[in-house]
Amino acid sequence: MRIIQPISLPLLACLLRLTLGFTTTSIKKAYNHELLKNYRLYSSAAANNEGDSPFTIQILMSDTGGGHRASANALRDAFDTLEPGKIKCDIVDIYTEYGPFWPLNSYPAMYKIMAEYSFLWKGFYEFGSTPFGLWLNDFLLETFCFEPFKECIERDAFNLNRRADMVVSVHPLTQELPLKILSHLDTNGESRENGRTTPFVTVVTDLGGAHPTWFNPGVDKCFVPSDALYQCARDREVQPEQIVQYGLPIRKG
């Protein structure tokens, strides 16, 4: 078991934080360089970059609680520390910014309501974990959000005349549809299921348990912080070679 116990751990810090505040510098470097090693060097998009053009990463999240944005910001800061000036991160609250209508564009507000009424949260979570709930979620998102989310993933955040070289998800509801959109873009519209070449990584920000939507066997790598989450990924047919398990880092105090 490779959980690294942090020096201090507030309740909310069970969310994965990739920042300067690791228990050891070597753990910090190992965690982040694993991500860079697997993707930065072989990305076809990065290979086509000219001159000093930076490698760009789009980080998908939504402000449902404080941890997802904190994790996205932490990733950005860690990349900048390890590769100063060479990596630019575009952090997007994809539902708030690109959701076509209510309630898709109001997830943060809905989250706050469900957090106040636990029975709502319990019902939403448990129904969404059933096979029918998972299918319904994917069907509705693909039906109503494919085009607006495609606009998000295609966006040129840094005026480099290209979309991001890699996509990283730090939210449970940004796996299935973004993967289909990337396949669609990478195959010039020929497929939503196959042919994706843009690297896609999930960084799971839960510790003891996680919703099934976190885990998609179509990702290149799935970063998990614990044995329990490793098993959750395996239960969702993510293969061992796709899973990267490290301890739980904390941000600098």
- pLDDT tens per residue, range 190-201: 999 999 999 999
Domain count, the chain: 1
**Residues with Cβ within 8 Å of residue 216, at least 6 apart in sequence:** 175, 176, 179, 202, 222, 236, 238
What does the radius of gyration of the chain's CA atoms come to, in whole angstroms? 18
Whether residue 50 lies inside any domain: the answer is yes
Q: In this predicted model, which residue has the larger pLDDT, 122 or 29?
A: 122
pLDDT band at 150 (very low <50, low <70, confident <90, very high): very high
- For the stretch 201-215, pLDDT in tens is 999 988 888 999 999
Whether residue 222 lies inside any domain: the answer is yes
Whether residue 251 lies inside any domain: the answer is no
Residue 228: predicted pLDDT: 93
pLDDT band at 133 (very low <50, low <70, confident <90, very high): very high
| String of DSSP letters for 17-60 | --SS--SSHHHHHHHHHHHHHHHTTT-HHHHT--TTPPEEEEEE
Lowest-confidence segment of 5-14, 155-164, 241-250 by average pLDDT: 5-14
Residue 84 in tokens = 């100063």
> How, if at all, do strands 87-93 and 55-61 pair?
parallel
For the segment 238-250, the average pLDDT, to the nearest whole number, is 79
> Which residues form the domain of 193?
11-245
Whether residue 213 lies inside any domain: the answer is yes
Whether residue 67 lies inside any domain: the answer is yes
Residue 35: predicted pLDDT: 55
| Cα distances (Å, whole numbers) of residue 62 to 56, 58, 67, 69, 96 | 20, 13, 10, 7, 7
For the segment 102-112, the average pLDDT, to the nearest whole number, is 83
The answer, yes or no, to whether residue 14 has pLDDT greater than 50, is no
Whether residue 93 lies inside any domain: the answer is yes
The answer, yes or no, to whether residue 11 has pLDDT greater than 70, is no
Whether residue 4 lies inside any domain: the answer is no
pTM score: 0.80
Lowest-confidence segment of 121-125, 173-177, 219-223 by average pLDDT: 121-125
Residue 37: predicted pLDDT: 53
Whether residue 227 lies inside any domain: the answer is yes
For the segment 65-80, the average pLDDT, to the nearest whole number, is 83
Lowest-confidence segment of 59-68, 121-130, 174-183, 231-240 by average pLDDT: 59-68
As a whole number of angstroms, the distance between CA 150 and CA 11 comes to 35
118: three-class secondary structure by DSSP: helix
Instruction: Output the average pLDDT for the chain.
Output: 80
